[in-house]
Amino acid sequence: MTEKPTDDRRIRVVAVAVQKGGTGKTSLAASLSVAAAEDGERVIAFDLDPQGSLAGWGALRRKDGVTVERIQAWEIGQMPEILEGCRENGTTLVVIDTAGTATGLAPALRTADLVVVPVRPSRLDLVAARPTLQTLVGLGMRSRLALVLNQCPPPPSPRTDAYAAQLRSLGVLAEPSIVHRVDHQDAVASGLGVTEYAPCGRAAEEIRALWGWLDAKMSRSGAEAS
């Protein structure tokens, strides 16, 4: 791993958010954090979810590369100051695992360069994600959201392909889709990212590719804004 140089640039923030349980939100946040660290980012992962699943994962970790910290509800309004402290300490990427409700989360969401919304490839899941999407659009973040089809059935899957085509046409699909594989659950249970747990597996390959997609999108957006 080659660390990316630290400079005076603003650190980047990826939030993983959806107002629905069972979508693999926390395992996605954990494995993306590790994949980014392996790509040279200096990563802090913040757990804003009262359930504390990401913090629990962090407590199990015995590897370096990702620092996990719990952010309490009363601290969310201080996110700009918290992020500035992270930047001063050399952090280049913050990954936020949000709560399952948007209440009070606006200050944290606004700090995100990209909000990843994991959904399973089903109509019910897309409908359930609607409140999250409406919140982001209401915050003026339409260009900063990306839906990830997560926990997909193994390919070939006409259902996954159909939903991917629909979301791609709307310009909101992050790729590739993430197939439901036991490596994800086993990795989280071991305090690892899936790229650490089974580095040569298909799950690891998909997560690395997804991180590459997110990294490239943030880089393009940053270049356009500068």
Closest to 56 (Cα-Cα) out of 191, 193, 182: 191
Query: Along the chain (226 residues), what's the average pLDDT of each consecutive run of 10 residues?
Result: 58 92 92 98 96 96 95 92 96 93 80 96 91 92 96 95 94 96 97 98 99 96 70
CA 132 to chain centre: 14
CATH superfamily of the 12-115+179-225 domain: P-loop containing nucleotide triphosphate hydrolases (3.40.50.300)
Domains of the chain, residue spans: 12-115+179-225
3-state secondary structure of 84: helix
**Predicted TM-score of the model (pTM):** 0.93
Secondary-structure breakdown of the chain: helix, strand, coil percentages, each rounded to the nearest 5: 50, 15, 35
One DSSP character per residue, 183-225 reads: HHHHHHHTT--HHHHSTTSHHHHHHHHHHHHHHHHHHHHHHHH
